Amino acid sequence: MAMRLMIALLWCLHLLPARCVDVLATLLAPLLVRLSAARTARINLRLCFPDLDATAHRQAEIAYCRAVLRSLLELGTVWFAPNATLRRRVMLEGTEHLDACGSQPVILLAMHTVGLEMAGARLAMEYRGVGFFTPHKNAFLDGIIRRARDRRGDIRMLDRREGLRPMVRAIRDGRYLYFLPDQDFGDRDAIFVPFFGIAAATVTTLPRLVRLTGARVVPVEVWQTPLGGYRIRFLPAWNDFPSDDLSADVRRMNVFVEQFVRDHPDQYFWGHKRFRTRPDPAEPSPYDHNKVFETAQSALTRVE
């Protein structure tokens, strides 16, 4: 019942002017900062921006909470709004970089930003895509998400348990993969490379996929703009990728993410425990509790 009420609320919100949702997110953000749900974001911001003072950290936390709240309140728009609404609110830049790839397979290198769902819906309207999905535990919500994806465009969603073979076939078939390798999935198929100067377990899937498919890697950035808008920017396709240095290839992915985050720190999804897996199992986790964080802040393996 609670889930159905939440969906009903989101449906009502998508009927409001974008300005109203923006104001609501602004009003609620200081409240979210006080909740335990914002704790992981607070720790990540302190780890990645250690030079900021307490006031600046607080401002960064509120800005992030405002951005993530706005994205949550706009899920009704993602799921229920007509395509014309999304075309009006979500602008595309740099499509010439996709055109330059011609008939070659393409992997869109993205990251977990607060605009992820909105961007996925907008891109589905323009391009044949493929992606992984994990079925939601709530069947009612899972059905809404699937129907929303299906009506936006030709998107093939693959179960992660199927492995990479169906993904490789789909990429070779000309479907764009919207790929986000910037989260901590443990040390399996990952190596430790710097992310904001901290050793972070980073998956090596992207170089492998490029070798298997011959795809071009086109980086893509997504961020919110005022009054309910979003902007998606495609950057030039990477040359010389992958190289003969796996560590350098994976580090290149993290550098791309870092550069965007420094320009738009409120837009990154800080709620993920990015530094949970440590190179040394004895190394303290920054996410255990406050006292451990103070120790871990200085004890975390930092690299250049």
Q: Which residue has the higher pLDDT, 68 or 298?
A: 68
pLDDT band at 34 (very low <50, low <70, confident <90, very high): confident
Q: What is the 3-state secondary structure (H, E, C) of 159-197?
A: EHHHCCHHHHHHHHCCCEEEECCCCCCCCCCEEEEEECC
Task: Evaluate whether 66 touches 26 at the Cβ level (below 8 Å).
Answer: yes
pLDDT band at 292 (very low <50, low <70, confident <90, very high): very low
Average pLDDT over residues 268-296: 82
pLDDT of residue 132: 77
Which residue in the block uniquely carries the two structure tokens 């800005």?
63
Which residue in the block uniquely carries the two structure tokens 């790839």?
101
Task: Evaluate whether 84 touches 235 at the Cβ level (below 8 Å).
Answer: no
Question: Would you say residue 300 has pLDDT above 80?
Answer: no
Q: What is the rounded distance in angstroms from the CA atom of residue 155 to the CA atom of residue 136?
A: 18
Q: What are 195's strand-pairing partners?
A: 198
- Distance, C-alpha 285 to centroid of its chain: 23
Segment holding 252, helix H or strand E: helix 246-263
Question: Across the chain, what does the average pLDDT equal?
Answer: 91
User: What domains lie within the chain, and their CATH numbers?
Assistant: 89-299 (3.40.1130)
Q: What is the pLDDT of residues 277-286, one digit of tens each?
A: 999 988 888 9
Q: What is the rounded distance in angstroms from the CA atom of residue 245 to the CA atom of residue 18?
A: 46
Q: What is the pLDDT of residues 134-150, one digit of tens each?
A: 777 788 787 888 888 87
Exposed, middle or buried: residue 60 (CB in 10 Å: 0-12, 13-18, 19+)?
A: buried
| Residue partners of 157: CB distance under 8 A and separation at least 6 | 130, 131, 132, 133, 146, 149
Q: What is the pLDDT of residues 246-265, one digit of tens each?
A: 999 999 999 999 999 999 99
Q: What is the pLDDT of residues 80-114, one digit of tens each?
A: 999 999 999 999 999 999 999 999 999 999 999 99
Question: Would you say residue 293 has pLDDT above 60?
Answer: no
Average pLDDT over residues 13-31: 93
Average pLDDT over residues 25-49: 93
Q: Which pTM value belongs to this model?
A: 0.92
